Structure 1
Amino acid sequence: MSPRHTDPSTRPALVDIAARLLAEEGPQALSARRIASEIGASTMALYTHFNGMRGLVRAMVHEGFARLQHYFTLVEFSDDPVSDLALLGRAYRLNALANPHLYAVMFGGSSLAGFSLGEEDRQYGRYTLAGVAECAARCIEAGRFRAADADLVAHQMWSAVHGLVALELGDYLTEPWNADSLLEAQLVGLMVAVGDTREAAVSSVTASAERLREEVDSATDADRGVEPP
C-alpha cells in the first residue's frame, strides 16, 4: 500500500492558527481539537505533521525564524554594506509586521502553554543572525565602521530594531513618534555609534529605504500572488 499523502498547506496553516490562538486567547486555547477544528481537520493532523502538541510548539518557533531568514535572503548585498545592513533591519521589521503572532511566540510575547524550548531551539534562531554579522564585517572591512566584533554589531542591530518592533506591535507608539520616523533615526544613530560619519550614514540609510520596495516588498508580494502597482 502506498503511503498516504497529506496536503502540504496543512502544516503551515496549523502553525499560523496555533500562533494566532496563543496571541489572541492565551495558552488555554491551545488544544489539539481547537486547532484542528479551525481548518476542518481531525486532531490526527497534529500528530501526522508534528508528532503532537510539543512538536507544534517547537514548529511555531522554527517557522517564525525560517520566515525571518526568508526576508533576510531577499536583501541583495551591494557595494554599500551600510545600506545593506540598514535594509536587513528593515526586512526584520517587515517580517514581524507580516507575521505578528509567530513573532510573539518566537520571542516570548506569547506563553508556550506550559511547553518549554531547548537550547537547540534558541540556537536555531541565533543562526538567522549570521548574515547580519557577515554584513557588519563588510562594513568594518570597508572602513565605514571602527574595528570591532562584527557579532557585537549584529546584536546591537538586532536588539535595537527588536525593541522598536515590540513597541510598534504593542501599539505603544503615538504621533509624532511613529515607527517609520523612529526607525530612520535609529538606523542612522546605530551606524554613527559604531563609527560611520553622519553624512555617510544618512546617505546609506536613505538608499536602503529606496531599495526596500524593489528588493523586499516586491518579492514578498510575488510570494503572495499580489500584482505590482
Structure 2
Amino acid sequence: MAIKERKEREKQEMRNLIIESATQLFLKQGYDKTSIRIIADDIEYSPATIYLYFKDKDEIFYVIHENAFDILDKELRKHDVIADPFERLAALGRTYMQFGIQNPDYYDLMFIMRAPMQQIRNEEKWKAGECAFGYLISTLEACLEQDRIRKADLHVTAIQVWSFVHGLVSLYVRERMCILMMPDDATREMLYNSFDLFLANLKK
C-alpha cells in the first residue's frame, strides 16, 4: 500500500509540475506559441513524459481553465449567507470584478485569450463554468420570484449582467481604461460605481 500511495503522490506531483509550468507559459507567451516541447523543456523532462499524463496541449489548457473557474466559483459561493437575492447579486458582481482586477492574467486566460474550446465542447458538461453561471442564474431567479428586479427573461437578464461586468473587467485588464487618465484606485472605484448604477436600472 505504501508503494502504491507513493506512486500516486509522485504522479500527482508531476501533473502539478506540468500544470504550473504550462500556466506560466500560456500567460507569458500565449497559447499558440506554447508547445508540449516548450513545456517539457521548461520542466526539464522529455515531451514523452508529458504525454503520459495529458493527451495533448488542449487537455492541459482545459485543466488550467477549470481550476481557474473553480477558484472563481468558490469566491462567489461565499455569498450564500446573504439572504436578500438582490444584495447577493450585487455582491456577486463586485466579487467577479474584484477577481478579474486582482487576477488579470487568470482572467485573460479564462475569458479573453484565444484558445481551442474543443476540449470543453467534448466534455459532457463545462462543470466549473456552468457552476459559476448557474449561481448567477439561481440568484436572478430568486430576484424575479421575490419581485426584487423588473420582470424580464431570466437568461437574457443573466447575459446582460455577465456581459456588463465582463466588459468592465476586460477593459481594465487590457489597460483600455487608461483613456480616462485617472489614478488606478479612482478607476477601480468607477468600475464598481458603474455596476451599482447598472443594478439600479434593473431594480423594480
Report the TM-score when normalising by structure 1: 0.69
Report the TM-score when normalising by structure 2: 0.76
**1:2-81 superposed matches below 5 A:** 2=4, 4-5=7-8, 6=10, 8=12, 10-27=14-31, 29-81=33-85
Rounded to whole Å, the distance in 2 between the matches of 1:165 and 1:121 is 28
Alpha-carbon offset, residue 155 of structure 1: 1.7
Rounded to whole Å, the distance in 1 between the matches of 2:114 and 2:143 is 38
Q: 2:158 aligns with which of 154, 158, 163?
A: 154
Q: Which residue of 1 aligns with 2:114?
A: 111
Q: Which residue of 1 aligns with 2:193?
A: 184
- In the comparison of the two structures, how many residue pairs are matched? 193
Letter in 2 for 1:110: M
Aligned residues: CA RMSD:
3.0
Unaligned 5+ runs, structure 2: none
Kept in 2, the 8 Å contact 1:139–1:145? The answer is yes
Q: Deviations over 1:7-35 (max 9, x none)?
A: 64554553343243233323454122322
- Bigger CA drift: 23-32 or 128-137? 23-32
2:201 pairs with 1:193: yes
Counterparts in 2 of 1:26 and 1:79: CA distance versus 1, 3 Å: closer
Rounded to whole Å, the distance in 1 between the matches of 2:63 and 2:14 is 13
Q: 2:100 aligns with which of 92, 96, 99?
A: 96
Alpha-carbon offset, residue 41 of structure 1: 4.8
Counterparts in 2 of 1:89 and 1:110: CA distance versus 1, 3 Å: same
Rounded to whole Å, the distance in 1 between the matches of 2:166 and 2:194 is 15
Q: Which residue of 2 aligns with 1:221?
A: none
SS at match of 2:176: coil
Kept in 1, the 8 Å contact 2:58–2:119? The answer is no
Unaligned 5+ runs, structure 1: 197-229
